[in-house]
Amino acid sequence: MRIVFVASECVPFSKTGGLADVVGALPEALQALGHKVEVIIPRYRTTKPGTILPHASNLTIPLTSGFKSAAIQRGDIIKGVQHYFVDCPELFDRDGLYQTKDGKDYPDNALRFAAFSLAALEALKHVSEPPEVIHCHDWQTSLVPVYLKRLYAGDPFFRQTSTVLTIHNLGYPGLFPAEVLSQITLDSDLFNINGLEFFGKVNFLKGGIFFSDFITTVSRRYAAEIQTPELGYGLDGVLRSRADRIQGILNGVDYEAWNPATDRLIPARYTPQNLEGKKVCKKALLMRMGVTQPALDRPVIGIVSRFAVQKGFDLIAEIAEELVKTDLYIVALGTGEAKYEQLFRALAAQYPDKFLVKVAYDNELAHQIEAGSDIFLMPSRYEPCGLNQIYSLKYGTVPVVRATGGLDDTIQEFDGKEGTGFKFSDYSAAALLGAIRKALEFYRQPAAWAQVMQNGMSQDFSWTVSARAYAEIYERLRAAKVRTKMAS
C-alpha cells in the first residue's frame, strides 16, 4: 500500500514538538511492515535542501489571494522512507516554523499552510503513483481532506485515495479570521456550522474533522476526552458526530534513542539486571546541577517539559513549600511561558538546595534527568499522549502523573507488587501532593521500589504495535474504496 504523510514538521529535518517525532518514526515503522511510505513537509530555512525535481520545479499554487510558486525537492531516504520538501521561500524561509523570534504567530499562517496543503497534493501528481492513503496531522494540514473533497473531487488521480487525520493536540485548532476563507480557494458555502465556521471564525481543524475519512488521536483516553465539553475546545459536538470514525492509538517511542542500556548521552549505562549505572547517573546529575556533595539517599524528582499552563505547573507552585519540607531534590528542565520560567527561577533562588533548575532546551540534560532521577513528575491538566513518562519507565524512573490522556493509558497504579507508577485524578494541589507522598513512602521501602522500577523497565511501547493499528485502519479504508468502486 502506498501511504503519504503530509505534515508541517518531521525529525530530523524540522521540529518544535512531539508531532515531528511521530512523523519521523511512524512512517519508518510502517515501511518495516512492508508498506511504501513517503513524507511531504515544508522546506524551512533550517532544512537542508534536497534535489529539485525537474518535472516539479515550478508548481503553481492557486490561492485566490494570489498565486504562489513552489518547487518540490527530493530529500533523504531514511530507513526506506522517501522525504519530499515543498520549497516556497516566500512562505517558509523564516526564522521559526510558526512564530517570530518574539513568540508571536506569523500573521499569514493560514495562507502558508493552505498553500502547503495544495502544493502537497499537486506534488503527489508529479512524484509517483496515486496513494491509497494520505495521512494528515493537526491543523496545519487539515485542509488536505477539504481540498480533496471540494477542489479535487473529480480528479481521477485521487479516486482511490482516502484521508486520515491525526489530532495531536486539540488545543491548537488553527483559528483564523472569517475573511481568510476567501483567500484560500474555498467557497463561501463552507462558512457554516457543517463546514469550517467556528463562532464567526475559520477553524482549519474543524474542516479536517468533517472531511477526513478517518480520525485518530494519540491515545485511547484522549480520544474519549476530546468528545467532552471539558476537553473538546468547542469541537466536542463535531467529534461526537463522527465518533464511529475516531480511534485513539498510543504513540510509540524510539528505543534506539531512549534506552539506558545503550544511551551515549548518560554517564553510565545500565539494564534491569544491573542497576549500578543508575546510581552513577544520579550522582552525576546532581553534581552537574550544582550540588557539590550530593546526598544520594535523597530521592530526586525529575521534570522535563515545555513550561506551559497545560502541564500543571500551577499545582507545583501551590505545593512548593510543602515539598521543600521533605528531604528531596527537584531537578527541572524546560522553556516556555514566561510566568512559568520565572516560577522555576524563583523557586531555585529561594530553595537552591532543593530546586535545581535549568531554563533551556538541552537534549543531553533531558536524557541525564531521565537516567539520574528516581521519580518523574507530569501533573498535566491534559496530555494527549506524553512521551517522557514512557521514557521514564524504560529508565527505571517511576512516574507520578495525573490520570488524563496518554498518561492514564500508559501508567498503572502500583499496589506494592503490580503497576508501574502513581496517579491522581482531581486537578488539585492536594491530589498531586498525595500522589507524591505515596511514591515517597514506597521509595523508603527498597524491595517495593525495586519492584516498581523493574515493572516499568519491562514495558514495551515501541512503534511496531502502533504501526500495526494504523495499518489496519488504512486497510479498512482501502477495502471500502474497492467496495464502492465495484458497486458503481
State whether 356 and 215 are in the same domain: no
**What are the φ/ψ torsions at residue 474 (nearest 5 degrees)?**
-55, -45
**Which residue type, as a one-letter code, is found at position 397?**
T
CA distances from 184 to 41, 54, 93, 116 (A): 19, 27, 20, 11
Q: CA-CA distance, 401 to 421, in Å (whole number)?
A: 8
pLDDT, position 346: 96
Do you know the residue count of the chain?
488
Give the model's confidence band at 488: pLDDT under 50 very low, under 70 low, under 90 confident, else very high. low
State whether 227 and 358 are in the same domain: no
State whether 416 and 480 are in the same domain: no
pLDDT in tens, 64-116: 888 889 999 999 999 999 999 999 999 999 989 999 988 789 999 999 999 99
Q: What residues are paired with 82 via a beta bridge?
A: 38, 77
Task: Indicate whether 262 belongs to any domain.
Answer: no
Give the model's confidence band at 243: pLDDT under 50 very low, under 70 low, under 90 confident, else very high. very high
State whether 283 and 340 are in the same domain: yes
State whether 210 and 288 are in the same domain: no
Task: Indicate whether 259 belongs to any domain.
Answer: no
Task: Indicate whether 271 belongs to any domain.
Answer: no
Domain range for 381 is 276-461
- Cα angle value 248/366/44 (rounded, 5°): 70
DSSP H helices in 214-312: 220-225, 236-240, 276-288
pLDDT in tens, 380-417: 999 999 999 999 999 999 999 999 999 999 999 999 99
- Cα angle value 402/266/19 (rounded, 5°): 50
pLDDT in tens, 331-350: 999 988 889 999 999 999 99
pLDDT, position 35: 97
Q: Contact, 231 vs 310, CB < 8 A?
A: no
Say which CATH number the domain at 6 has. Answer: 3.40.50.2000
State whether 53 and 143 are in the same domain: yes
Neighbours of 338 (CB within 10 A): 10
Number of independent structural domains in the chain: 2
pLDDT, position 27: 97
State whether 157 and 174 are in the same domain: yes
Task: Indicate whether 411 belongs to any domain.
Answer: yes
Give all strands (DSSP E) within 100-180, no chain letters: 133-137, 162-167, 175-176
Task: Indicate whether 261 belongs to any domain.
Answer: no
Average pLDDT, the chain: 95
Give the model's confidence band at 56: pLDDT under 50 very low, under 70 low, under 90 confident, else very high. confident
Give the model's confidence band at 210: pLDDT under 50 very low, under 70 low, under 90 confident, else very high. very high
State whether 141 and 160 are in the same domain: yes
Task: Indicate whether 33 belongs to any domain.
Answer: yes
Candidate from 50-59, 125-134, 426-435 with smallest mean pLDDT? 50-59
State whether 476 and 448 are in the same domain: no
**247 pLDDT more than 90:** yes
State whether 176 and 78 are in the same domain: yes
Beta-carbon contacts of 435 under 8 Å, excluding residues fewer than 6 positions away, are 400, 422, 423, 424
The b-or-e profile of 425-460 (16+ CB within 10 A means b, else e) is eebebebbbebbebbbebbeeeebbebbbebbbeee
Of residues 306, 257, 369, the one with CA closest to residue 25: 257
State whether 324 and 213 are in the same domain: no
Pairing of strands 246-248, 36-42: unpaired
Task: Indicate whether 258 belongs to any domain.
Answer: no
pLDDT in tens, 265-310: 999 999 999 999 999 999 999 999 999 999 999 999 999 998 988 9
Task: Indicate whether 269 belongs to any domain.
Answer: no
What average pLDDT does the segment 361-385 reach?
Answer: 96
CA distances from 172 to 50, 115, 167, 193 (A): 30, 19, 9, 19
Say whether 151 sits in a helix, a strand or coil: coil
State whether 111 and 138 are in the same domain: yes
What average pLDDT does the segment 179-195 reach?
Answer: 94
pLDDT, position 64: 87
